[in-house]
Amino acid sequence: MSYQLSVTQREAALSALGEEEFDCLVIGGGVTGAGIALDAASRGLKTAIVDAQDWAFGTSSRSSRLVHGGLRYLYQLDFKLVAEALTERGRLLSRIAPHLVEAQPFLWPLKQRVVERAYSAVGVGMYDALAVAGAGFKKTVPVQKHLSKKAAIERFPDIKPDALIGAIEFYDSRVDDARLVITLIRTAGQYGAVAASRTKVVEVTKSGGRVSGAVVEDLETGNKITVKAKHIINATGVWTEQTQDLAGSTGGLKVLAAKGIHLVLPRERIKAEAGMFLRTEKSVLFIIPWQYYWVIGTTDTAWHEKLTHPVPTSEDIDYLLDHANEVLATPLTRDDIIGTYAGLRPLLQPKVLDESKSTKVSREHTVTEVAPGMVAIAGGKLTTYRVMASDAVDFALGKDDAKRRPSITADLPLLGAPGLEAVRNQSERLGKKYGFDADRMKHLLSRYGSEVLDLLAAIDADPSLGEPLQAAPRFLRAEVHRACTVEGAMHLEDILITRIRLNSEARDRGASAVDEVADIAAEVLGWSMERKEAEKQNYRDRIAAELAAEGQPTDETAAAARNEVSDIVAAELN
Ligand SMILES: Cc1cc2nc3c(=O)[nH]c(=O)nc-3n(C[C@H](O)[C@H](O)[C@H](O)COP(=O)(O)OP(=O)(O)OC[C@H]3O[C@@H](n4cnc5c(N)ncnc54)[C@H](O)[C@@H]3O)c2cc1C
C-alpha cells in the first residue's frame, strides 16, 4: 500500500515538524504548494508542507477543472504561456497523471462562414501545433476537425440551430482539481515529505537576519510548534501577502483576488457528446461534460470580501445562465442547477492597478525573495503547477545548488499512474468479480488509477465497503473509507467537498448522504457520538448558508450570508 494521509500520519508529521530540521518548508497545500513539496522531496530535499485548511480548500478545489493551454491567451498573443501549458498538458496526459487527466473534445461554434472560420482555424491550428511540439512531436490528443453545421449538431444535439453555421472541434483536457492536489501531496509523502493539514503558519522566525523557520499552529488542538527550515516557500495563493507579511519584510508579491463562479448541471440536461467553448464580451465560457454532470463557467470579477469563502451571487448565476442560453436550444433555468461554487484567482498585481481590467492581468507566475531564506510564488494556473514548483525550488536553492539537484518531476508519475494500463486491461474481469458495471469501473479508474487495486483489497477485507452509498450510489462506501484512511480527510466537510464531491455535484449538496457518510467516517476516525453530531450539524448549516448566499444580489450580502456559519476548524485566514 502506498503513502497514506491519515490521522496517525498527521500526528507523526506534527511530531517530526518539531523535532527535525527541514531543507524546505512549504506553506500552502493548494496545487502550487503540493507541486513544490513533490518537486523538493523528489530532489532529495528534506521537505515539509502545511496548510491552514484541508488540502486544496483554497482556489485549487474551485477551478474550471481544466488542464489546458488556454485558447484565450493565444488571442492575447501570449504564446509562451500557451506553449508552456500545452507541454504540461501533454506530460500530465501521457506520463504524470494519465488516470486523473482526461482528454476532452470541445466545439467552438462559428457564426460567420469565411473570415471567422479561417481566423479560428489558424488559432486552433497553432494551439495544436504548440501541443505537438511541446510533446516532442507526438500527439497526446487528436488535432482540430472542421465540422459542418449538420455534423456539429450531431455532436451537440442541444445547440440552437441558429447559433452556428459550423464548428471547429478541438481538444483540451479535464481533471478533478482537488484530487490532483491530494495525489500530489501523497506522492510527495511517498518520497519522504512530511505533511500536515489544518496546520497554520502563524510566525516566521529569523536568525542572523535570515529566515530560519516558522511557528505553526495545529488548529485541531491549538498546540504551537517551532519548525526549523533552511528555506521557506510561500505558496499561499490569494493569501500570499498575509503570509509574507509574517516575515516582517518589505519584499514580496502583490496579489489581486478575482472571483470566478461555476454552475453544475445534471448530465442528462444537455444532450451532447462534446463540450463547448464560447468567447464572451469579457472572457470565455466553457460548457464541460463530466461522466455524471456538466460544469459551466466562469466569471471574472474583483472580490473585496473575506478570502476564505467566496460565493456566487444571484447576478453571477444569471450571467452564466444567460450566456449558456445564447447557444442552448432548451434554455437552462435555476431549477436545473444542482450545484455552484466560486473560487478566487490569485492574479499578480501590476504596479498600477485598475480593477476593471482584472481579466487582462497576466496568468503567468512570478517567484521572488520575500526575505533571505524565504521566497514567494503566485500566479500561474493549475495546469502549470509543475513548472511553477520547479521554478520556486530552483530559486530557493540558488543557481549552483539547483544545478546539482535538478527537478525530476517532468517524468515522475503520481501515485495511481504506474501500472495504469495493466489495471485498465483487467477492468472487465474485476468488474465482474465485484459486481461493478463498466460505468462504475470507469469512475473508479479515473479516480484511483492503478490504486483501484488497494480499494478493492479494502472491499475484500470488509465486503460492506463494496456497497454503494444509499443517497449517492455512484460512490461506494469504500470511497468514503479511503477518503479517511488514505486521503487525509479529518472532517465530514473534507469528505463531501473535496473527496466525494457531493457538495458541488448533488442537487441537495450532499445533505441526504450526511448520515451514512458520517457513520463511516466516525468509525474510522474514532468520533464520539457528540463529535459526529457536531460534524453533521456544521455541514448542514454550511449548506444552508451557501444556498442563502446564492440568493443574494451582491458580493457583500452574499459573503455576509455565507459567513453566518463558522468553520468546523477556524483557520482565521481573512
Ligand atoms: C474560477 C477559476 C477557474 C480556474 N480554472 C482553471 C482551470 O480550469 N485550469 C487551470 O489550469 N487553472 C485554473 N484556475 C487557476 C488555478 O485554479 C489556480 O491558479 C490555482 O488553483 C492556485 O493554486 P495555489 O496553490 O497557488 O493557491 P490555493 O489553492 O488557494 O492554495 C493556497 C493555500 O494556502 C493556504 N494558506 C494560506 N495561508 C496559510 C498559512 N498562514 N499557513 C498555512 N497555509 C496557508 C490556504 O489554506 C490554501 O489552501 C482557475 C482559477 C479560478 C479562480
Residues within a 6 A CB radius of ligand 1: 27-33, 50-53, 57-60, 62-66, 68, 200-201, 235-239, 243, 260, 298, 343-346, 380-383, 573
Q: Rounded distance, CA 428 to CA 431, Å? A: 5
Ligand 1 pocket mutation pick from 17, 39, 64, 253 by most atoms within 8 angstroms of CB = 64
pLDDT tens figures, 80-131: 788 899 999 999 999 999 999 999 999 999 887 666 677 677 777 777 777 8
Q: How confident is the model at residue 360 (pLDDT cuts 50, 70, 90)?
A: very low
Among 36-50, 97-111, 198-212, 239-253, the minimum mean pLDDT is found in: 239-253
321: closest CA among 385, 264, 404? Answer: 264
Could you tell me which residues come within 8 angstroms of residue 88 by beta carbon, excluding any fewer than 6 positions away? Answer: 67, 134, 383, 384, 386, 387
Taking the centre of ligand 1 as the mean of its atom positions, its distance from the CA of residue 129, in whole angstroms, is 29
Note the pLDDT of residue 350: 56
How remote is the CA of residue 289 from the centroid of ligand 1, in Å? 23
Residue bearing the CA closest to ligand 1, atom 15: 381
Measured between alpha carbons, how far is residue 296 from residues 144, 261, 282, 543 in Å?
Answer: 22, 9, 16, 20
CA of residue 340 to ligand 1 center, whole Å: 17
Which DSSP string do the residues of 261-309 spell out, in sequence order?
EEEEEEGGGS--SSEEEEE-SSSEEEEEE-SSEEEEE---EE--S-SS-
Q: Is it the case that residue 307 has pLDDT exceeding 50? A: yes
pLDDT band at 352 (very low <50, low <70, confident <90, very high): very low
- Which residue from 14, 259, 381 has its CB within 8 A of the most atoms of ligand 1, so it is best to mutate? 381
Average pLDDT over residues 191-207: 98
Closest to 462 measured CA to CA, from 495, 485, 488, 438: 485
Task: Give the pLDDT confidence of 549-566 residue by residue, as tens digits.
Answer: 999 999 999 999 999 999
- 363 pLDDT band, cuts 50/70/90, is low
Residue 180 CA to residue 390 CA, distance in Å, equals 17
| pLDDT tens digits, one per residue of 435-492 | 999 999 999 999 999 999 999 999 999 999 999 999 999 999 999 999 999 999 999 9
For the CA of 381, the closest atom of ligand 1 is 19
- In Å, how far are 119, 127, 172, 240, 528 from 148, measured between CA atoms? 16, 21, 21, 48, 62
**Ligand 1 atom nearest to CA at 383:** 11
| pLDDT score of 221 | 98
Counting every residue written for the chain, the total comes to 574
Distance 28 CA to ligand 1 centre (A): 9
User: What is the pLDDT averaged over residues 316-337?
Assistant: 97
Ligand 1 mean position, distance from CA 119 (Å): 33
User: Ligand 1 pocket test: which of 106, 239, 264, 362 has the largest number of ligand atoms within 8 Å of its C-beta?
Assistant: 239
In whole angstroms, give the CA distance from residue 82 to residue 359: 16
Give the three cell numbers for residue 92.
500530465
Q: Could you tell me which residues come within 8 angstroms of residue 530 by beta carbon, excluding any fewer than 6 positions away?
A: none
- Of all atoms in ligand 1, which is nearest to the CA of residue 238? 30
Spacing, Cα 236 to ligand 1 middle (Å) = 7
Ligand 1 atom 1, closest CA: 260
CA 30–ligand 1 middle distance (angstroms):
5
